[in-house]
Amino acid sequence: MVRFVSLSSGSNGNCYYFSDGTVAFLIDVGIGARTIKKRLAELNIDFDSISFILVTHDHVDHIKSLGLFTERFHKPVYATRTLHGALSRHFCTRGKMTGCVRYLDENFENDIMGVCVTPFEVPHDATQTVGYHIVIGGEKITVVTDIGSPTDAAVRYASMADHLIVEANYDVDMLVGGPYPMNLKMRIMSENGHLSNEQTCSLVRRSISPTTRNLFLCHLSAHNNTPQAAFSAVKETLENLHSQASLRCLPRTQTSELFFLEH
């Protein structure tokens, strides 16, 4: 059984916590260490249990506090070689990762303290962006956030998961009719932008299996989506597939409930 909590999800900051009771790790550090500590404490989770960090990409909402966090707590930071190169130049992390840099091989099962971590590249407009397929405590988890289109690789790794965390960033009509400037709308909708609810449904349709237990929608836009719109779109897809998977939207600015992942 694995404990999972989303400490923040969206352009305001991303940070996810996972633990099997022996090893614990974060994916992305887009919010401050003090907030992480406080939010974990509210769930009776010991901050010191965090063993390492995984990074998805070099956008500020994912690495805003990574540099300060690493400087202060000296947790090993695992990322691909390309991404570490970007982190060594980024103002959030430059000069702050000394002694904590650990490299991951893409499309390869990397063993980190007994956790099997496979990063795979996804299309997005950062230096490099990866999704993760993770096996921890016997549970298979795939995390795909900040991805412009549902690629075959993303579908392949998503279809291996008992528990899938996938972006549902925007509702097309809300984005098109919304307040964003045209160039930003185009960026979000591009092949290297974010997933619309429809694209998330497409990924789900191609990857859900009878063994999928949990589906979490993450990185919802505050302006261009609502939890209701994302939920009902994906719920309809699950119903059409006769899937029993439980579906939830992760809150943007608040801590989610503490989830117990088991298959």
For Zn ion, the binding residues (CB under 5 A) are: 59, 61, 146
Minimum distance of Zn ion from residue 175's CB (angstroms): 15
The H-or-E segment that residue 114 falls in is none
Helices (H) and strands (E) in the chain, counts: 9, 14
Would you say 143 or 160 has its CB closer to Zn ion? 143
Contact 39, 6 (CB under 8 A): no
Taking every pair of C-alpha atoms in the chain, what is the biggest distance, in angstroms? 51
Would you say 126 or 241 has its CB closer to Zn ion? 126
Would you say 61 or 171 has its CB closer to Zn ion? 61
Minimum distance of Zn ion from residue 75's CB (angstroms): 21
Minimum distance of Zn ion from residue 222's CB (angstroms): 12
Task: Tell me how far the alpha carbon of residue 263 is from its chain's centroid.
Answer: 20
Q: What distance in Å separates the CA atoms of residue 55 and residue 66, rounded to the nearest whole number?
A: 9
Minimum distance of Zn ion from residue 57's CB (angstroms): 6
Q: What distance in Å separates the CA atoms of residue 229 and residue 220, rounded to the nearest whole number?
A: 10
**The two structure tokens encoding residue 17:** 């916590």
Would you say 214 or 221 has its CB closer to Zn ion? 221
Minimum distance of Zn ion from residue 61's CB (angstroms): 4
**The two structure tokens encoding residue 137:** 């405590």
Would you say 58 or 139 has its CB closer to Zn ion? 58
Measure the CA angle with vertex 174, ends 169 and 180; round to 5°.
85
